[in-house]
Amino acid sequence: VFEKGFKPRRTIILGSWDGEEFSVLGSTHFVHKSEYELLSRCVVYINSDCPVKGHKTFSARTDSLLIDSLINAAKLVPVDPPINMQSFYDEWLNNKISDRNEPVITSLGGGSDHIPFAYRLGIPSTYPEFLPDDGLYNTPVYHTAYDIIDFVERFTDPASPFTGHFPRHRLIARLILTLIIQFACAPRLPLSILRCSQRLLDDWLKFMELVTHQIPNISEYDVNLGKFLIFVRIYRIIYRPNPWKLLIFFNSSFFL
């Protein structure tokens, strides 16, 4: 594609981190070393840590700022071309549907190298992966001597009879590449600003409900949770016409 004149608007960096099992040492060191540049220029981090742990269930662990981009990428990616040209989004939608009539998308959580990017610097991050089955996170042989290519070919990601080996690996690669192209080439970053603000508001309301239930007399401690709620609502109204200001607000006030 580069020979045909393709040039992304933004730099794409591929990173490979060591020491993940020892408190994500490699990625944390990189973030500390490059903190100023990352804060100034990094717009998204896509994590890939054993992204195919199975072939049954797709897990979309995603920052709320990236939900729309992930959904759009899934709509563009076929499941297993050229035999199965159904969009991956349609397959994903058949697994579980949320109350928004969309696939279930969970919060980012921890457990991998996105931690320093997402939680130290506030960089929007996503960690898409396939899991063995509903309710399982890893195969029984994970991190054992039996966790080898033969097991992957036979159980974790069995070959398609028409398109060859590792169909889920190839699918997750297409999905991640589509996400990369979206963020590298879009004139305006495809961030879900309103989703993020709504998620923040919903989570804060749940937190307020929990706190007031556990501590009914919280007002006696001179703690006013309502002030923060009003603060969030004001910023949602003021910055809705200009989502870039809202993005700066979230990054500077909540994640750092």
CA distance 178 to 171: 11
Q: Catalytic: 91?
A: no
Q: Which of 20, 102, 129, 153 is an active site residue?
A: 20
Look at residue 59 and give its three-state secondary structure: strand
Q: Residue 43's closest CA among 236, 200, 190?
A: 190
Name all contacts of 30-36 with Cβ < 8 Å and 24+ positions apart: 30/116, 31/116, 31/117, 31/120, 31/121, 32/116, 35/120, 35/121
Q: Residue 76's closest CA among 89, 94, 61?
A: 89
Contact 43, 189 (CB under 8 A): yes
Pairing mode, if any, of strands 78-80 and 45-46? unpaired
The first and second tokens of residue 43, run together, are 């717009």
Cβ atoms within 10 Å of 108's Cβ, excluding its own: 21
Q: In the 8-state DSSP scheme, what is residue 159?
A: P
Q: Residue 81's closest CA among 155, 152, 170?
A: 170
Cβ atoms within 10 Å of 104's Cβ, excluding its own: 16
Q: Which residues are catalytic?
A: 20
